[in-house]
Structure 1
Amino acid sequence: MSFCLVTNESVEDGIKRIVSEEIAQAIKEIDNPRLKRTEAIHEVRKHCKKIRSVLRLVRPQFEETYQFENAWFRDTAKGIAELRDTEAIIETYDSLLDKFSDQVDRRAFAPIRRALTLRQKKIIEETGDLNQKLKELRARMDKAAGRVADWKLKVDGFDGIEGGIVATYRQARKILTAAYDDPTAENFHEWRKQAKYHGYHMRLLRELWKPVMRSIEKEADELSDSLGDDHNLDVLHKTLLKSPNKYGKKRDIQVLLGLIDRRSAELRVEAKIIGGRIFAEKPKAFGRRFRVYWEVWRSEVELPSKKLTEEPGVVTAAA
């Protein structure tokens, strides 16, 4: 179906369906021989993040199960994180030089680009057989799939998700303030994770009011992208500083570090504007508003069904 709750199923059934579909899709991508192995690993990580967002939505309903399953999917993704990070660093480098292409001579930084590529190849080699790594990931996904049917929620309806959706919103709002009061890379990365979970929750609740939810979802995606780019710039920054002698001339590295700082500052300004809108509302008010959305959405199911019948030049509604 899709990554959202629908009217013809309980919250419990919807959560189990969505997670089962995400696991099945991850396995399908692992089994796809036409998909690059590094790309398959990246896709599996994304499915794990989406599943963890679903778990957060209903966390108060099965805390013990949440703790186990969240750790399971977190560790599944963590085991392959370094591979994706090496690729993201190169993508970030390329994007950064594209951004400032009219201000710098790209050729001067060619040694840095080559060194980053060599670093990626080395990490891939040290990781070992990627097919074997994916085989292990598939086994973990298979095990998880077998447990989903046994998940039980305490209550249904909006009561089943209110605690999770409000807690995630509250945490994202709190870390937004913390990030700008104490602008460390760690705070911004944590904000990105919480904002991403909130964005996934908006997708899960898309059917409540499609035009509005899609707009919020789009804004949340833009926020997550800005914060994700900021995080990748920080990783690139730290990589260059860790072993600067590997990456070329000191002067060129200093120039690149300056570009990283400039772009990071721009992204954080963008994120503050978008985040200020998304998280303007206080958590309790946010929860009350979404309860109303939910109740109106559910009431639509109870309306008498009507269908349109057409005659030449006339459209009528027939019960």
Structure 2
Amino acid sequence: MSYKLEKQEDLQENINRIASEEIDACLTSLKKAEIHEAVHDIRKRLKKLRALARLVRDEMGEKKYKKINIYFRDLGRELSPVRDLTAHMETVDMLKERYGDHVYVKFFDSIKQELEKERDTVAEELQEKDFFSQYLVEKLEKAKEKLEEWPVKSLDIAVILPSLERVYSRGANALEDAYANPNSETFHEWRKRAKYLWHQSELLQDVWPEMFKTLESEIHILADYLGDDHNLMVLDEKLLNTDFNFKDEKQKEMIHALIKEYSDHLRTNAELHGALIYAEKPKAFKKRIKKYVRVNWN
């Protein structure tokens, strides 16, 4: 099965199946994947689990939803020290691909090597504490055992509509705030909201595959713009606000300038893409999805 609601199952069966599959996939990554690949995969799946819970937030009730959301959020944060450093390395590669022909040959290599050393040290410390082999496994297994506590009793898919409207509305508001007050925090907030809408559009693909696959694809593009921008901002903060081992001051100034230029490019693309995705009023968006569900679900 995949990360989507299936029409042949009722809502409760769908939610339990998808959550179980995502947790199982996390455990499989820990067993079979290289540790940094596993961390990346698990972080993505924890976000999908949070988006799934958010989809049935109103059905669950606020208290239970927050408990589940915080559990997966905090577990993801425990992986951040390793994942963030891998993301920094990937972002350096992204900068090298775009600007490598315009700087001296090993300009980016020395930066990436320093990041890799730090990442390996952090990963080794966690491995010595049995973080991956024991602690993380136990936390995931506990989450799977408690799936029966996800209080999704309704068989009516319409219970997801308030969450869809709320996620869409908050994304539209975050878009406006990002360009009215452009900084790393406002764009990061918009990124989070766009990702929730992206994952929820994935879940709804069986309602109307052609339409929702297109919507999911377009939101994915927006999420990539915002995700790359976020990674640039986090890398910039790390390189400029810590005792990072640069070769000289010119290298530091240059990497900052390149990050700024690339960020501006991504934000320009994101603005147009976002305006198209959030072109509707939230109530109109909800009403449209409601009609699709009525026509082609049960």
TM-score per shorter chain, which class?
over 0.9
| Alignment partners' CA distance in 1, 2:58 and 2:191 | 22
2:17 is matched with 17
Matched residue of 1:106: which SS? coil
Matched residue of 2:238: which SS? helix
1:96-135 equivalences under 5 Å are 96-129=95-128, 132-135=131-134
State whether residues 158 and 293 of structure 2, in contact with CA within 8 Å, keep that contact through their aligned partners in structure 1: no
State whether residues 12 and 153 of structure 2, in contact with CA within 8 Å, keep that contact through their aligned partners in structure 1: no
Question: 1:104 is aligned with what amino acid?
Answer: V
| Alignment partners' CA distance in 2, 1:21 and 1:56 | 17
Residue 152 of structure 1: CA displacement?
2.3
Show CA shifts across 1:13-39 (max 9, x none).
Answer: 21111111111111122222xx11121
Q: Does 1:206 align with 2:205?
A: yes
State whether residues 230 and 267 of structure 1, in contact with CA within 8 Å, keep that contact through their aligned partners in structure 2: yes
Residue 258 of structure 1: CA displacement?
0.3
- Comparing 237-246 with 123-132, greater Cα deviation is found at 123-132
| Alignment partners' CA distance in 2, 1:136 and 1:31 | 13
- Comparing 177-186 with 244-253, greater Cα deviation is found at 244-253
1:309 is matched with none
| Alignment partners' CA distance in 2, 1:240 and 1:31 | 33
Query: What TM-score, normalized by structure 1, do the two folds share?
Result: 0.89
Show CA shifts across 1:203-233 (max 9, x none).
Answer: 1000111111111111111111111111111
Show CA shifts across 1:278-311 (max 9, x none).
Answer: 111110000000000001112xx5xxxxxxxxxx
1:34-45 equivalences under 5 Å are 35-45=33-43
| Alignment partners' CA distance in 2, 1:76 and 1:122 | 20
| Alignment partners' CA distance in 1, 2:274 and 2:74 | 29
Distance 1:149 1:186, change over 3 A: same
Residue 163 of structure 1: CA displacement?
1.1
Distance 1:106 1:235, change over 3 A: farther
Residue 130 of structure 1: CA displacement?
7.3
Matched residue of 1:100: which SS? helix
2:6 is matched with 6
Structure with the largest fraction of helix: 2
| Alignment partners' CA distance in 1, 2:176 and 2:48 | 25
| Alignment partners' CA distance in 2, 1:113 and 1:39 | 17
1:305 is matched with none
Query: Which residues of structure 1 form unaligned runs of 5+?
Result: 302-319
Query: What TM-score, normalized by structure 2, do the two folds share?
Result: 0.95
1:46 is matched with 44
Show CA shifts across 1:141-193 (max 9, x none).
Answer: 11111111232235332331011111111111110100000011011111111
| Alignment partners' CA distance in 2, 1:109 and 1:10 | 52
- Moved >4 Å (runs of 4+): none
State whether residues 127 and 133 of structure 2, in contact with CA within 8 Å, keep that contact through their aligned partners in structure 1: no
1:58 is matched with 56
| Alignment partners' CA distance in 2, 1:13 and 1:115 | 47
Residue 113 of structure 1: CA displacement?
2.8
1:193 is matched with 192
State whether residues 199 and 217 of structure 1, in contact with CA within 8 Å, keep that contact through their aligned partners in structure 2: yes
Matched residue of 1:149: which SS? helix
Q: Does 1:269 align with 2:272?
A: no
Matched residue of 1:80: which SS? helix
| Alignment partners' CA distance in 2, 1:257 and 1:93 | 12
State whether residues 222 and 273 of structure 2, in contact with CA within 8 Å, keep that contact through their aligned partners in structure 1: yes
Larger radius of gyration: 1
| Alignment partners' CA distance in 2, 1:235 and 1:101 | 20
| Alignment partners' CA distance in 1, 2:244 and 2:155 | 59
Residue 51 of structure 1: CA displacement?
0.3
CA RMSD of aligned residues (A): 1.6
State whether residues 153 and 160 of structure 1, in contact with CA within 8 Å, keep that contact through their aligned partners in structure 2: no
1:291-306 equivalences under 5 Å are 291-298=290-297
Distance 1:251 1:268, change over 3 A: same
Show CA shifts across 1:37-89 (max 9, x none).
Answer: 12112211111110000001010111222111111111111101110000110
